[in-house]
Amino acid sequence: MRRHETLFAGAIFAIVAISGQAAAQVTSATVNGGRVEGLASSGIGVFKGIPFSAPPVGDKRWKMPQPVVPWTGVKKVDAFAPGCMQQGLLPGPGPAGRHSEDCLYLNVWTPATSASEKLPVMVWIYGGGFALGETSTPLYDGANIAKKGVVLVSVAYRVGPFGFLAHPELSKESRKGSGSYGIGDQIAGLRWVKANIAQFGGDPGNVTIFGESAGGISVSMLAASPAAKGLFQKAISESGGSFAPLRTADEGLPSVPTLKTAEAVGQRFFAAIGAADLKAARALPAEKILAGPGTAMVNGQFWPVADGEIIVGDQYELYSQGKFNDTPILIGTNADEGRLFLALAGPRGGGRGGDSVAAFTQQARVGFGDKADVIIAAYTSTPDDAAKAIKNLFRDGAFAWPTWAWAGLQAKKGKGKVYVYHFENRGSSQPDGATHADEIAYVFGNLDAPLLGPPPVRTAADRTLSEQFMSYWTNFAKTGDPNGPALPVWPAFTTAKPQVMNLAPAKALDEHPNLRQIKALDEYFEWRRARAKSGQ
C-alpha cells in the first residue's frame, strides 16, 4: 500500500473510531411524553431539562404535579431548564429567565452504552432551606459520580410559597390537605425514574435517593411517606432529618408544622399580598407571590406541611411504630454546620461582648420553654461568646440531633443497615471544622465549582478525599454498604455499638463528638412531644 493510501486509511479508521465512541453513549431515549435527545461528553451521556410534569402554572399553581404534556418529534435536552421561582443565591447558568414557575424538569448523566446495562441509580435532591435551590448549580454536575458506574439524576422541585403554602381553600379543593407540593414534585420525579430510567441504562429496582440540607430533610420525609413507598431502595442524607415534633407555634428550631398551623400562615400570606381568596391569589403574577413576606431562606416561613397525604404525622412517632420505608441508610453531619447560618444571619445571629451569653440565655428561655436550662447548660459551659453557642445549637438542633434520632430509630426498628458519618476536616481556615454544605464538592467530585462564593484552594489531599467520598457514596448505591477496596473500614451503626465514621480524618469513632449536646436536645424534644400529646 502506498504511503498516502496508508495515511488515508488511518484517517478513515480514526474517524470511524471517534464516531463509534461518541455513538456508544446512550444519548437518546423515549420517555413519558415523547422522544428526547441529549449529548455525549467525556464518556457520559448527558440529558438536561427533561420535563417530568406539566408546568405548575395557572390553575395548577398550588396543586400536586400533573401528568407531563406530550410533545411531537424529538426534544433536544442539552441545556438546563429554568430553576423554580425563588430569591436565588446559588450560582447557576445565568440565562435570561433563569427562574420560572414552569420548572419541573430533571437531568440525567449516564455512563451506559446501552439501555440493557441496569446500572445503579442515584437521585439528587438539592438543599436551600425549602426556599431556594436548583439543579443547574455547577456544584451538582453529575458527570464525575456517573463515571463511578451509576446513573445520576437530579430533580427540580418547587420551593418557598410555590412549593409549601397551605391554606384552608387549598385543603378543601384537594380534600387531602395542602402545603407539601415540593415533596410531591420529588415523588413525581421518582415515579418518572421508575418508569423511564431503564431507557438510560439504569436499574429502576436499585434507586438511591440522596440530598443535602433541605434535600437531606426531604430524603428523611420520603423515607416515612406512604406516597413514596417502593420508589427507592436506599437513602443518603447529608445534614438533614425530620424527627422533631410537629410545630404548633414558634417553638425553637425548624420543624414540620401541623396543617392548622400552616393554613394560618397561608391566610396571613394571602392578606399580605392582597389576595382576597384562592382565585385571586392564582391570578397574581409569580413575582407578586415571591415579593410576599417570609419567602427568603433567612427567616423564611414556608416548610413542608403535615398535610395527611405526603407527610402523615410526627416522623419520630411513625418510626417508633415501624411505619416507614425500610431501606439501608447512610447519614451524617459536619463539625461546624452552624457557621454558615451565623454568617447568613449577619449581626442578628449573635453578638460578641460581655453580655453575649446572657443574651443567648434570654433567647433560649423564649424558644425552649421549661427545658431552657438544660439547653443553656449544654451550650454555655465554656464558650466565650454567644456566637459559638448559637451556631452549635443550630448545628445540633437542625442537623446532628435529627440524624442521631434517625440512626437510632432505623437501627432499632428497621432491617436496613445504618452508616453514620461525621465530617470534621479541621484546618487553619476552619479551626472548628467543616461547615454546612462543605461535603457536597467532595461527594460530586466538583472541588473547583462555586456554591456561595469562590471555592477554596484545593490540594492533592482534597482530591484524594473526594475520591474517597465518591467511592463510599457509589458503593453504597450499588450494594447498600459503603465499604470497598482501599477504603478505611466504615462500621455499621447499631444500638449496641453506635459507631460514627469521621471522614476527615478517616477514623471510626465510638461515639458522636457532639453527644452531650445531642442528649440535651433529646430531653427537649421528648418534652415537646409529651406536651403535644397532652394537647398543651
Active site residues: 213, 337, 436
Residues in the chain: 536
Q: Measured in Å, how far apart are the chain's first and last C-alpha atoms?
A: 94
| C-alpha cell belonging to residue 446 | 466538583
Contact 129, 93 (CB under 8 A): no
Q: CA dihedral in degrees (456, 457, 460, 464; nearest 10)?
A: 10
Strands 234-238 and 329-334: parallel
| Rg, C-alpha atoms of the chain | 24
> Which H/E stretch holds residue 390?
helix 386-394
518-522 long-range contacts, Cβ below 8 Å, gap at least 24? 518/396, 518/400, 518/401, 518/404, 520/374, 520/375, 520/377, 520/378, 520/379, 521/375, 521/378, 521/396, 521/397, 521/401, 522/401, 522/405
DSSP state of 364: H
DSSP letters for 411-475: HHH-SS-EEEEEE---BTTBTT--BTTTTHHHHHT-TT--SSSPPPPP-HHHHHHHHHHHHHHHH
| C-alpha cell belonging to residue 338 | 452552624
- Whose CA is closest to 495, among 428, 384, 414, 377? 414
DSSP letters for 79-142: SPPPEESS---S-----TT-EES---EEEEEE--SSTT--EEEEEEE--STTT---TT-GGG--
At residue 449's C-alpha, the angle toward residues 446 and 454, to 5°, is 140
DSSP state of 396: I
Residue the block writes with cell 459536619: 334
Contact 408, 309 (CB under 8 A): no
- Whose CA is closest to 71, among 98, 39, 34, 106? 34
